[in-house]
């Protein structure tokens, strides 16, 4: 069992689909069990939810092997550090993987901690899958592009993995989250979500983790894939186009 964790990054009233870990889960083959735990959800005590699953797994034939967390700089890092530290302290056998913008920007400091075992730098779908082979002893860590690991306790960051546009991967697995609980009022309407139709960014702001993860490149999905989303886009205002040209932010049907 793999736990895909979105540490709290915002108040529950501002929660958003946990797109980063949804992308990772969608790419796992059917034989691997996984669950998303989102710290932005109201009323969820994330550490307790994680440990409940680890304890239950210990009594089953599918123990939690990996807690994989997405970590952005800022508030999400503030939640992620004590969470990872506590899990490692109480369950040292559970491997902790960090992916996303923070470990992509700062791989060495993350790998120097005692509580993170591996990092995934840049696009995560394929690297994470290959990491699972490493964990199961089928592959050498040095052979996985995009992986950060420890050799005799010392951080090692492998070469970058060339990355692919959204069409190379499955669509977000909306069936693995409670979609309704994420549809919230905004100035666009009563029930809104975010649809991300690209990955990366064409700009080069020097503080930004997106550049560390993807370079100054953005890749778009095909219109056919956007059209096949289970949601109906009923409104895309011109102001949204002006303010957020690359995020498709629309009122959703329902």
Binding partner at 211 among ligand B12, ligand SF4, none, C-beta below 5 to 8 Å by kind: ligand SF4
Per-residue mark of binding to ligand B12, 161-190 (x: CB under 6 A):
------------------------------
Q: What angle do CA 84, 156, 210 make, to 5 degrees?
A: 65
Beta bridge partners of 195: 248
Question: Would you tell me how many other CB atoms lie within 10 Å of the CB of residue 77?
Answer: 19
User: Which lies closer to ligand SF4 via its Cβ, residue 29 or residue 245?
Assistant: 245
Question: Would you tell me how many other CB atoms lie within 10 Å of the CB of residue 130?
Answer: 20
* Binds ligand B12 by CB under 6 A, chosen from 81, 134, 171, 194: 194
* 34: DSSP letter: E
Beta strands across the sheet bearing 34-38: 34-38, 2-6, 66-70, 95-99, 118-120, 147-151, 154-157
* Binds ligand B12 by CB under 6 A, chosen from 3, 8, 9, 110: 9
| Burial class of residue 143 in the structure, from the number of CB atoms within 10 Å of its CB (0-12 exposed, 13-18 middle, 19+ buried) | exposed
User: Which lies closer to ligand SF4 via its Cβ, residue 24 or residue 211?
Assistant: 211
* Binds ligand B12 by CB under 6 A, chosen from 86, 113, 158, 196: 196
- Give CA torsion, residues 34, 26, 208, 119, to 10 deg: 40
The region of 62-70, 81-89, 139-147, 206-214 touching ligand SF4 under the rule CB under 6 A is 206-214
**CA-to-CA separations, 69 to 18, 66, 81, 85, 118, in angstroms, rounded:** 11, 10, 10, 12, 11
- CB of 247 vs ligand SF4, minimal distance in Å: 10
Q: Which residue has the tokens 């990872």?
A: 84
* Binds ligand B12 by CB under 6 A, chosen from 57, 100, 141, 148: 100
* Binds ligand SF4 by CB under 6 A, chosen from 78, 164, 205, 217: 205
118 binds ligand B12 (CB under 6 A): no
- CB of 221 vs ligand SF4, minimal distance in Å: 17
72 binds ligand B12 (CB under 6 A): yes
251 binds ligand B12 (CB under 6 A): no
105 binds ligand SF4 (CB under 6 A): no
Binding partner at 94 among ligand B12, ligand SF4, none, C-beta below 5 to 8 Å by kind: none
User: Which lies closer to ligand B12 via its Cβ, residue 61 or residue 222?
Assistant: 222
Q: What is the DSSP string of 102-159?
A: HHHH-HHHHHHSSS--EEE-S--HHHHHHHHHHHTTSS-GGGSTTEEEEETTEEEEPP
Residues near ligand SF4, by CB under 6 A: 201, 203-205, 208, 210-211
């Amino acid at each position: 069992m793999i736990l895909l964790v979105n540490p709290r990054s915002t108040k529950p009233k501002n929660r958003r689909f946990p797109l980063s870990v949804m992308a990772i889960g969608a790419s796992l083959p059917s034989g691997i069990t996984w669950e998303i735990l989102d710290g932005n959800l109201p009323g969820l005590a994330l550490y307790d939810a994680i440990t409940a699953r680890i304890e239950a797994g210990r009594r089953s034939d599918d123990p939690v092997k990996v807690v994989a967390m997405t970590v952005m700089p800022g508030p999400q890092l503030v939640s992620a550090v004590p969470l990872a530290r506590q899990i490692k302290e109480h369950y040292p056998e559970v491997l902790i993987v960090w992916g996303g913008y923070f470990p992509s920007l700062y791989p060495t400091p993350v790998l120097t901690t005692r509580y993170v075992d591996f990092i995934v730098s840049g696009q995560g779908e394929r690297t994470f899958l290959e990491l699972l082979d490493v964990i199961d002893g089928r592959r050498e860590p040095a052979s996985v592009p995009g992986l950060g690991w420890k050799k005799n306790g010392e951080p090692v960051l492998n070469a970058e993995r060339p990355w692919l546009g959204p069409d190379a991967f499955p669509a977000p697995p909306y069936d693995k989250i409670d979609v309704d609980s994420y549809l919230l009022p905004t100035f666009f309407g009563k029930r809104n979500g975010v649809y991300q139709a690209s990955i990366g960014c064409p700009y080069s702001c020097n503080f930004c983790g997106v550049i560390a993860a993807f370079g100054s490149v953005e890749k778009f999905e095909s219109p056919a894939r956007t059209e096949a989303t289970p949601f109906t886009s009923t409104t895309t205002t011109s102001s949204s186009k002006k303010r957020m040209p690359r995020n498709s932010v629309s009122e959703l049907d329902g």
